Chain A
Amino acid sequence: MRLIIREDYDEVSGYVANYVKERINQFQPSAERPFVLGLPTGSSPIGTYKKLVELFKAGELSFKNVVTFNMDEYVGLPRDHPESYHSFMWNHLFKHVDIKPENVHILDGNAPDLDEECKKFEADIARVGGIELFLGGIGPDGHIAFNEPGSSLTSRTRVKTLAYETIIANARFFDGDVSKVPKLALTVGVATVMDAREVCITITGAHKSIALAKCIEEGVNHMWTVSAIQMHPKGLVVCDEDATLELHVKTVKYFKSIEHVHHSLIGAENLSLQGGVKQLRAPGSGNARPATPMNGPYE
């Protein structure tokens, strides 16, 4: 697992957006071989989406051959309700960029047969060859998507009943009226996310620090479902300084030093985008960290 620590929410958003851009551009997607991206909702990815829109408007990124699968959607909420995840994705990303409508997949919370809808979603993912990169956030209780504590770590896309705490937390978007908040949601499972070839989780803020600590310093545990990332061959967690508050000092120093070794001693030009080392060259090819997409202008 790679842990990338940046100063604050803005730097984290910038890092993830740049990373997505580089991954897509290196992949060189085409109509026959599109880049399949998994996307989250919530407050964590808003900054990332904003920066992705900026990159698109600057001409550095195109979504023409990108296929997307969202993590979740409420059950029973009209699709054009301002709080639906369809509306969220439309307003934060899709309406700004050149993604093709038929390449967008979001679970349909109004499907007549919800189980069929979930099975169909899994089948759609398989049909495009699986997800290349799945972006995600984390809840204060360490959950990914709507896989709340106790969710099986081998779960797949299914209907979930929302925890009371989650319903209360969401009431602020429904005029403070708990009765208006949806009680059920469709969500990808923990295993659905971990099946992706790469998983990138964004974790910012002090209120997420305990969850981050539980997920990467302690065992794989269904009470903290993001901990399943420990079993993934290509896991990437990007967090800000506040989110590291509950980590051991040793952990933070370790991951910061790895970045330093990679960039100063091995040289960014020898690293592949996903962290692998391509070759070793003589040191002295640069003491200062050269500017690369991974450490951009915000270093």
Chain B
Amino acid sequence: MLSTNKPAPKSKITKIVNARLLLDHKIVKDSYLWFQDGKIIHPQNLFFDQHRDADEIIDAQGMMVVPGYMDIQINGGYGIDFADHEGSLDKIQKDVDTVAKGLLQYGCTAFCPTVVSSAPEVYNKVLPLLNKRKGDAKGGSEILGAHIEGPFISHEKKGAHNQEIFRTGKRGIDEFDEAYGPELKKGSEAVSIITLAPEIEGVTEVIPELANRGICVSIGHSAATIDVAENAVAKGATLITHLFNAMLPFHHRDPGMIGVLGAVDLPAPVDPARHPSASNTSPDRTKPDPRPFYGLIVDGVHVHPNSVRIAYYAHPKGCVLVTDALSALGLPKGLYTLGGRELEIDDNGAAYIKGTNTLAGSTISIDQSVRNFRQFTKCTVVEAIEAATLHPAQVLGISDRKGTLNPGGDADLLFLNDDLEIQRVFVYGEEVELTKNKK
């Protein structure tokens, strides 16, 4: 219930009219969106108690207005790699800002900068610059904390990571604190997600401790069998890193990590808010889903569109669109680096380790991901958008302020046309200047 005791601030109230809003899992026509001080508000009490009405009216001209997209796995962009530790702290800070600003053009209003497997010195230097940071229309997309991918991962499923730095968890949580440095102790203030391989020695045992620190534990880059994977989820893992990629392929008698989507007897979630909502595909259709969320790269290269569709309809409420975009995002075809490796981008935007067939990441943007996803799965517009808004917010446990247009949420908004192309972007209630609109 809304409090009527505090006097409302005298700041500007904005009302969006003529919009189709994504509210309560539906596209709604005769409703309006109100925001003040960067937050979405419920204006009824302001109207009756404080006699406040809208100060500015924005006409959405029939466009869809949805929450800003969130990307929880992105390695960099515009020639910048978050794992790049050479250069001064100032330079690295500027680079992070450049990416954050650039991402706004794609409608990504919040993201988890992802750092691939690196040496402790790199984490010590880079992680403090990737702490949580509020978004700003000029300063850039909100930083939700870092996603540290590796080095506690499998040699077999390393993708483009440098396996010389891989480690085991023999000495438990201390090994982790050594590997990442003091930022890991700050928990979800600094590190939002950690990707690890549960079959590596000592790693599964550390999962509860990491989850306790508020960090989302994600299993990936792993050769785990179905038992090991399910056990990791039972211990507190709530996300699967880019499903299908860097894990055992699906086999009908040994479904591996992909088989977690078909699990029925996982224990009830400890924190239901950080699990997918109940659906027709949940083991118990009325209780929160014990299965984890799963990331999907939908550039059409990493995963065949049919595979995307199969995974989606096995577990629709758990699907999270990620770009896993590389430093090449936003740049033309050519040669680039990631975590010290040379990569080659081809015409499709797919990045391979130079001279091999090993995929290293994508150059897809999150808004293109939403369009692709809808095309691949033929899901509804609402479902496609929620996979890039509501679900990532649930992964991080922040769905009260991100990923929805509910009152109390941050006013990160996108205006989309019927083809889901971005027309306008707002961060904390302020409009972003889109380069494509500049003459």
Contacts and interface: CB of A to CB of B under 8 A. Distances in A.
Interface of A: 78-80, 86-87, 90, 94-96, 100-102, 104, 106
Nearest to A53: B30
A40 B45 CA distance: 20
A72 to B, nearest CB: 16
Contacts of A100: 51, 53
A101 B51 contact: yes
Chain B: number of interface residues, binned into ranges = 10 to 19
29 contacts: A78-B1, A79-B4, A79-B45, A79-B48, A79-B49, A80-B1, A80-B44, A80-B45, A86-B44, A86-B48, A87-B44, A90-B44, A90-B47, A90-B48, A94-B47, A95-B32, A95-B43, A95-B47, A96-B30, A100-B53, A101-B48, A101-B50, A101-B51, A101-B52, A101-B53, A102-B51, A104-B47, A104-B48, A106-B48
A78 B4 CA distance: 10
Given A80-B45, A86-B48, A94-B47, 12 more contacts: A79-B4, A79-B49, A80-B1, A80-B2, A80-B42, A87-B44, A90-B48, A95-B32, A96-B30, A96-B32, A101-B51, A104-B48
Contacts of A101: 47-48, 50-53
B394 to A, nearest CB: 25
Nearest to A90: B44
Contacts of A102: 51
B266 to A, nearest CB: 33
Contact of A95 (B1, B4, B44, B45): B44
A90 B49 CA distance: 13
Contacts of A104: 47-48
Interface in B16-57: 30, 32, 42-45, 47-53
Contacts of B48: 79, 86, 90, 101, 104, 106
- Dominant SS at the B interface? loop
A96 B15 CA distance: 11
A7 B248 CA distance: 69
Contacts of B51: 100-102
A263 B43 CA distance: 46
A94 B49 CA distance: 14
Nearest to A50: B30
Looking at chain A's contact residues, is the secondary structure mostly helix, strand, loop, or mixed?
helix
B2 to A, nearest CB: 6
Contacts of B44: 80, 86-87, 90, 95
B59 to A, nearest CB: 11
Nearest to A87: B44
Nearest to A100: B53
A95 B21 CA distance: 15
Contacts of B53: 100-101
A116 B42 CA distance: 29
Contacts of A80: 1-2, 42, 44-45
Nearest to B53: A101
B407 to A, nearest CB: 11
B54 to A, nearest CB: 9
Contacts of B52: 101
A90 B42 CA distance: 11
Contacts of A87: 44
Nearest to B44: A90
A101 B2 CA distance: 18
A276 B49 CA distance: 42
A90 B45 CA distance: 10
A100 B30 CA distance: 20
A178 to B, nearest CB: 22
A90 B48 CA distance: 9
What 3 pairs between A and B have smallest CB-CB spacing?
A: A101-B51, A90-B44, A102-B51
Nearest to A91: B44
A86 B43 CA distance: 12
A77 to B, nearest CB: 12
Nearest to B51: A101
A236 B347 CA distance: 74
A104 B30 CA distance: 22
Contacts of B47: 90, 94-95, 101, 104
Nearest to A94: B47
A78 B1 CA distance: 9
Interface string B49-73: 1111100000000000000000000
Indicate the member of B2, B44, B50 with the most A CB atoms within 10 Å.
Answer: B44
A104 B48 CA distance: 8
A194 to B, nearest CB: 28
Interface string B1-20: 11010000000000000000
A104 B32 CA distance: 20
A243 B43 CA distance: 38
